[in-house]
Structure 1
Amino acid sequence: MGSLSFLLDFFDDRSINTHVLQFIQPMAIGFIAYSAFKVFKVAVHNPITRIITALATIVTFIAFKTPWVFPALILAAGIATNFSDKRIPQKEVPPKKVNWGNLIIFFSLFAIAGYLSERATQKNWSNRKAYNLFENSYRFGSLVFGGGDVLMPMMYEQYVVRPTTKRVQLTKRDVLKMDKDEFLTGSGIVRAIPGPVFSIAAFTGGMVLRSDNSTSEQLLGCLLGAAGIFLPSALLVLFFFPVWHNLKKYAVIYRSLEGINAAVVGIMAGATCYLLKDIILVQLWNRPVIGAIDMAVIVATFLLLQSSKVRAPFIVLGCIGIGWISLAWL
């Protein structure tokens, strides 16, 4: 995925036609829509989770440009499902001592990364974007519940939508940014590569730190993006599992997870709606034929994934094939 950021840069520098990849972008939306549907069947099973999912979908769609919407929804959902103890009652278990000291490293890194990122931006450090990238990646890896399909909307908001907001433009803040077509291309190509979807962080890291005169900065972006996204998982495995062994005795944790999983479904559904509005509707208005094909690709991707008979890499190859054919016909 890191090499893909160099490949797209190579194509851009030499004005090479990349339209062969154009239908990878709607395919990526189809993957997110299917993931929301798949998690919905598992996580949404009673009135409170249905309400949380519906509200999270609406709030995500309306407030997508607001960076705090994702953690706020997750936190609020975890609290909401604890107002009733009828579904998941607390069993009589001996109280267990929770050793919170194991999480000091995790939370300390979170705080330090945030402080250094903000400090680097305020003081205009020469390497400030590297600090910003690590903080973003570490934050994504820490807050994502539900895997890589929740990561995509967070990254899209951070790197594509946020730089276009009025607040950023008025303050002229030099934020990390990507073109939306390039982002969706990367989020589609990652489906064809073995390994976790989190590896897209290497691609986004390279893209946001690419420079006209420094290949080393782009390579650093690939490394920082990958390290930052996977580090929280490694720390949680090392330090959180002993704590979880005691925490899982308490029903409040399971109630919170019930709400969080429902919110994750809403976030993915809201993000799907936002992407359809942001990309497909614009395409339908400007280029109706291409827009109609995009919609067909989204629906076909969803149906193929639902059938469980076609593997993701073959769907990616199929979309590349459609793009190649379209070069001659459209």
Structure 2
Amino acid sequence: MLLLTISAFGGPQAHMTLLLRMMVEKRRYLSEKDLIELYALCQILPGPTSTQTITAIGYKIGGARLAFLTLLVWMFPAVMIMTGLAVVVSHFQRQDLSLEFTRFIQPMAVGFVAYASYTISRRVVNTKAGIAIMLVAAVISFFIRKPFIYPLLLLLAGLATAIKWKKHPHEQKQKISVKWGNLVLWISILIVAAIVGGVTQALPIRLFENFYRNGSLIFGGGQVLIPLLYTEFVDFLNYLSSEEFLSGYALVQAVPGPTFSFSAYIGALSMRAYGVGGEIIGGIIASVGIFLPGTFLIFFMIRFWDELKKYRVIKASLEGVTAASSGMVIAATFLLLEPISNTGLNFLFIIGTFLLLKFTRIPAPLLILSGLLAGVLL
């Protein structure tokens, strides 16, 4: 897993290729069919898809202890790198040093999100109903910039397509045996964190609650994470500037491992008033908050997933959930475009990044390093 972690660039789809090569073909820990089914399960759960798939592999091979160890090895390098980058950014600001050399990776971040919205919509939205839901979700999430709108859109979109359950083929089912412990733990922590954070107004607790809540509501992987976190931490809470947010999102493209490690960067900068120690704590709090819900849910679901996936209403609702998630990523492209200065050079970097991602196989880390180099030279 450590070898996989330090080489896993490119998001969930690229991660799946590496998992197939390492876990199935080379190590033979599980079959290709098992891996694909685990990946399908994680796609319908809120949380980081790659991370949940990897955690599920650990659980399938060696139970809960190996699953937690696998999770830690997978997330630790990326979380530490993104926390370190946040500390560097904060240090530059305290020393009144210029961060102008990062100015080109901000429009490049918009290019990355634009490409993500393009690829996601093409891959998962292939019906008239899905296209309609995607467009409506994009418009609503762009104009109503409140944290509650995202889970509400996902719920309504799932209900909208669940009514088509009869169109899916019937499968023979057995009685489902459910162990509720992890689900109860997931909900309990969500409620307790909200109450304690509201009463004490302590920033570390509120920070944990923010990320835990978002980790409990995000469907579709790291790209869908962006509009939620931007709305919450830039527009709503004002913990970060749009420039800091965009710089961090661009930098995470050059870091191997889970895209959700971007949360460590946001958490660290949110705690900058407490010094370097506070920033490190903020990065850890944010990471635990964002990764923990998905872990509880995969532990809960994996025990009866084989039977649950046979229910037609579940299959039907996924069409709406994935379409709404795609719409949110489209909205994020325009949302992140707003703070970018309307200069020809910025638009050149946005369009150029999109075209390079679409038509070439240049690795994302190399693109980001090129953007930083251009910022230094120009």
TM-score (norm. length: structure 1): 0.85
Quote the Cα distance in structure 2 between the aligned partners of 1:321 and 1:215.
27
1:206 and 2:206 matched: no
- 1:43-83: CA deviations, max 9, x gaps? 111111011001011101111x2111111111111110012
1:296 and 2:357 matched: no
Deviation at 1:191, TM superposition (A): 0.6
Counterpart of 1:246 (choices 307, 326, 332) is: 307
1:154 and 2:216 matched: no
Q: Give 1:321's aligned residue.
A: 373
Quote the Cα distance in structure 2 between the aligned partners of 1:308 and 1:25.
21
Q: Give 1:235's aligned residue.
A: 296
1:105 and 2:165 matched: no
Deviation at 1:95, TM superposition (A): 4.2
Counterpart of 2:205 (choices 131, 142, 159) is: 131
1:49 and 2:130 matched: yes
Deviation at 1:156, TM superposition (A): 0.7
Aligned 8 A contact 1:98 1:247 in 2: no
> Secondary structure at 1:205's aligned position in 2?
helix
Counterpart of 2:164 (choices 71, 84, 89) is: 84
> Secondary structure at 1:150's aligned position in 2?
helix
Quote the Cα distance in structure 2 between the aligned partners of 1:256 and 1:218.
40
**Larger CA deviation: 214-223 vs 258-267:** 214-223
Quote the Cα distance in structure 2 between the aligned partners of 1:214 and 1:318.
31
Quote the Cα distance in structure 2 between the aligned partners of 1:274 and 1:252.
33
Q: Give 2:278's aligned residue.
A: 217
Q: Which runs of 5+ in 2 are unaligned?
A: 1-81
| Aligned amino acid, residue 128 of structure 2 | P
Quote the Cα distance in structure 1 between the aligned partners of 2:192 and 2:367.
41
Deviation at 1:92, TM superposition (A): 4.5
Aligned 8 A contact 1:53 1:263 in 2: yes
Aligned 8 A contact 1:97 1:246 in 2: no
Distance 1:247 1:301, change over 3 A: same
| Aligned amino acid, residue 177 of structure 1 | Y
> Secondary structure at 1:81's aligned position in 2?
helix
| Aligned amino acid, residue 206 of structure 1 | A
Q: Which runs of 5+ in 1 are unaligned?
A: 122-127, 164-175, 285-290
Quote the Cα distance in structure 1 between the aligned partners of 2:132 and 2:171.
26
Quote the Cα distance in structure 1 between the aligned partners of 2:288 and 2:173.
39
Deviation at 1:86, TM superposition (A): 4.6
Quote the Cα distance in structure 2 between the aligned partners of 1:316 and 1:275.
17
Aligned 8 A contact 2:107 2:350 in 1: yes
TM-score (norm. length: structure 2): 0.75
Aligned 8 A contact 2:240 2:269 in 1: yes
Deviation at 1:34, TM superposition (A): 1.0
Distance 1:40 1:238, change over 3 A: same
Alignment map for 1:58-73 (pairs within 5 Å): 58-63=139-144, 65-73=145-153
Quote the Cα distance in structure 2 between the aligned partners of 1:194 and 1:248.
31
Quote the Cα distance in structure 1 between the aligned partners of 2:303 and 2:353.
40
Deviation at 1:101, TM superposition (A): 4.2
> Secondary structure at 2:371's aligned position in 1?
helix
Q: Give 2:215's aligned residue.
A: 141
Quote the Cα distance in structure 2 between the aligned partners of 1:214 and 1:271.
31
Quote the Cα distance in structure 2 between the aligned partners of 1:149 and 1:59.
18
Counterpart of 2:110 (choices 29, 42, 48) is: 29
Deviation at 1:85, TM superposition (A): 2.7
Q: Taking every aligned residue pair, what percent have the same amino acid on both sides?
A: 35
> Secondary structure at 1:242's aligned position in 2?
coil
Which structure has more relative contact order (CA 8 Å, sep 6+)? It is 1
Distance 1:26 1:87, change over 3 A: farther
Quote the Cα distance in structure 2 between the aligned partners of 1:30 and 1:116.
39
Deviation at 1:150, TM superposition (A): 0.9
- 1:211-257: CA deviations, max 9, x gaps? 1x633222210110111111122222322211323321211111111
Alignment RMSD, CA only?
1.6
Alignment map for 1:13-24 (pairs within 5 Å): 13-24=94-105
Aligned 8 A contact 1:102 1:240 in 2: no
1:257 and 2:318 matched: yes
Counterpart of 2:335 (choices 271, 274, 278) is: 274
Quote the Cα distance in structure 1 between the aligned partners of 2:158 and 2:195.
26
- 1:191-222: CA deviations, max 9, x gaps? 101111111111111100111x6332222101
Alignment map for 1:3-22 (pairs within 5 Å): 3-22=84-103
Distance 1:246 1:107, change over 3 A: farther
Alignment map for 1:181-200 (pairs within 5 Å): 181-200=243-262
Aligned length: 297
| Aligned amino acid, residue 242 of structure 1 | R
> Secondary structure at 2:302's aligned position in 1?
helix
Aligned 8 A contact 1:150 1:267 in 2: yes
